[in-house]
Amino acid sequence: MKRKLQSGPQYALYAGLLVMAISISSFTGCSSGKKDTQETEKKNPACKVETTLFGITAEGDSVMLYTLKNEKDYVVKITNFGGIITEIHTPDREGQFGNIVLGFDNLDRYLAGHPNFGALIGRYGNRIADAKFTLDGVTYQLAANNGDNSLHGGVIGFDDVIWEPEVISCDERAALRLSYVSEDGEEGFPGTLTVHVTYELLMDQLLITYEATTDKATPVNLTNHSYFNLAGEGTILDHVLYINASRYTPVDNELIPTGEIAPVEGTAFDFRKPRVIGERIDEVPGGYDHNFVLDQAEGERTLAAKLMDPKTGRSLEVITTEPGVQFYTGNFLDGSLSSGDFTYVKHSGLCLETQHFPDSPNQPDFPSTILRPGETYSTQTIFKFGVEK
């Protein structure tokens, strides 16, 4: 059974509604309240957020879909179930808009099970070895949901809960702020963690800002798990990828880091010059599913990766304050899932998950992921969309 939003009773008011307005609180200079929202939308009607009913869970909770639009006709759709990005529409070199992420158009498809399409991942993105770690002398046993290991927060991670929404729509920005309180002991993690994630659609960028506080020391590693296919069909093996990393973290046969930080030079992991993804993928058993150590000054925002599809000309830049990015080539997609005419076979999409490193709570030489009371976890990732002729 999926956990319900702590303030879940308010969702009963949404059942049967297809379109609704939500009063909003102050955010990045935007005024709060329905009246102010209407006034700003009049000034820039092309920059807005539409809210529709996405589906109802077996427990009777209504789940909403938020469509962010701007004056350049970019569209991003997000549901407050799991903070999932269901669609991103950007133009190709002919000016034709198309969806560039894998996902579904209704809640039931997500409830039936999926490989984290577009999901907001936490408390801990990626793997923790043996589903346990020791912090301040205490060993914590986590939920093991990937063999003996913990993956993406456990059996019911942040991708599997309903988030509290706030809609922001004002001059030159359309945004959605999602909040969730993860109780002490949830999936084995210590501390009550209060999380806020904001999605902002600007002119040609989607900004994702993560914030969290805790009342007890705990590991935190939040990310987004969107599968990109800039062509909107076929596989991503002919996409061209650049990754701003001269090192990566090798893994064992369970995809747990060995603790080594190794150079990419002379290996199939060297994407410091743009390279076709399929060129050397056969040299990587199972395909790419590895953490790359970004070449950046600690905490500074930097270009992590750039992806381009030669067929459509669409490009994607990933900019982040995080020290790493997980490059995953959809190795476990098997053709059992589809949307419309697009069947999701192996390598139908790829992920560029900005993050701290996998298994950091058990790896003292990796950057720390421990958040303590009085501190604020704060990271940002930007997806910048473009077209190349």
* Catalytically active residues, by annotation: 225, 353
DSSP H helical segments within 163-254, as ranges?
A: none
Q: What secondary structure letter does DSSP report for 96?
A: -
In contact, 2 and 161? CB cutoff 8 Å = yes
Dist. CA 194–CA 178, nearest whole Å: 11
Identify the helix (H) or strand (E) that includes residue 39: helix 34-43
CA-wise closest residue to 230 among 90, 341, 105: 90
Token digits for 148? 């003996």
Dist. CA 207–CA 271, nearest whole Å: 24
Query: Residue 123: is the preceding peptide bond cis (ω within 30°)?
Result: yes
In contact, 79 and 65? CB cutoff 8 Å = yes
CA-wise closest residue to 304 among 291, 295, 312: 295
CA angle in degrees (0–180, nearest 5) for 85-91-92: 120
Taking every pair of C-alpha atoms in the chain, what is the biggest distance, in angstroms?
60
CA-wise closest residue to 73 among 90, 87, 86: 90
In contact, 225 and 328? CB cutoff 8 Å = no
